[in-house]
Amino acid sequence: MSHGARERGEIGAAVLTISTSRSRGDGEDLGGPALAAFAERLGVTVVGTEVIPDELALIEGRLRWWCDQGGCELVLTTGGTGFAPDDVTPEATRAVIEREAPGIGEAMRAASREHTPMWMASRGVAGTRGRTLIVNFPGNPPAIEQAGSAIAEALPHVLGLLAGRGKHH
């Protein structure tokens, strides 16, 4: 786990790679760094990164911690959104969020459609817990880039509304 410092008023983000094999040290985590780079391009400060196994209770606990104690306005996950038996990131996210944001997941899947026939097999969700937005990304770095491009323009607006800034549309 790593933590970065941030200035007052900056938006803080946590990036969680959810992969049992990567958490054991099997292979390099490419998704987490790709997602952190996406967050930085949004202008947010990545204050923490973690690699955790595909365990429902653990994922729920880490999401709650980053939202409630970690002080993050944005929590981005990568991995665990497919159909393998241990792909439980969407279920953990749904257990933690208070309001779902279906348009975010829909936009991310739609962006992947032109790149892979498996676009509809991503089950990632998004939603809010308090003033924090949680977004599930796929685990594949190119898919992270494609999905991220679909929502990058809207995220600063969403984060501003959650923080009590900006105008409602």
Considering the domain boundaries, does residue 168 fall inside one? Answer: no
Q: Which residues contact 48 (CB under 8 A, 6 or more apart)?
A: 1, 2, 3, 4, 14, 15, 66, 70, 72
- Tell me the residue range of the domain where 21 lies: 12-162
User: What is d(CA 18, CA 111) in angstroms, rounded to the nearest whole number?
Assistant: 22
Considering the domain boundaries, does residue 3 fall inside one? Answer: no
Considering the domain boundaries, does residue 33 fall inside one? Answer: yes
Q: Which of 143, 159, 138, 122 is nearest to 42 (CA)?
A: 159
Considering the domain boundaries, does residue 75 fall inside one? Answer: yes
> What would the two tokens of residue 64 be?
């709650």
3-state helix, strand, coil in the chain (%, to 5): 40, 20, 40
Could you give the number of structural domains in the chain? 1
Residue 127 and residue 100 in contact, taking contact as beta carbons nearer than 8 Å: yes
CA atoms within 13 A on the CB side of 60: 11
Considering the domain boundaries, does residue 7 fall inside one? Answer: no
Considering the domain boundaries, does residue 57 fall inside one? Answer: yes
Q: Which residues contact 140 (CB under 8 A, 6 or more apart)?
A: 31
- Reported as a single tens digit per residue, the pLDDT across 5-58 is 446 568 999 999 999 999 999 999 999 999 999 999 999 999 999 999 999 999
The predicted model gives 81-88 an average pLDDT of 96
Tell me, what's the pLDDT at 19?
A: 95
Q: Please check the confidence at residue 149 and state whether its pLDDT lies above 90.
A: yes
Considering the domain boundaries, does residue 5 fall inside one? Answer: no
Task: Give the CATH number, domain containing residue 84.
Answer: 3.40.980.10
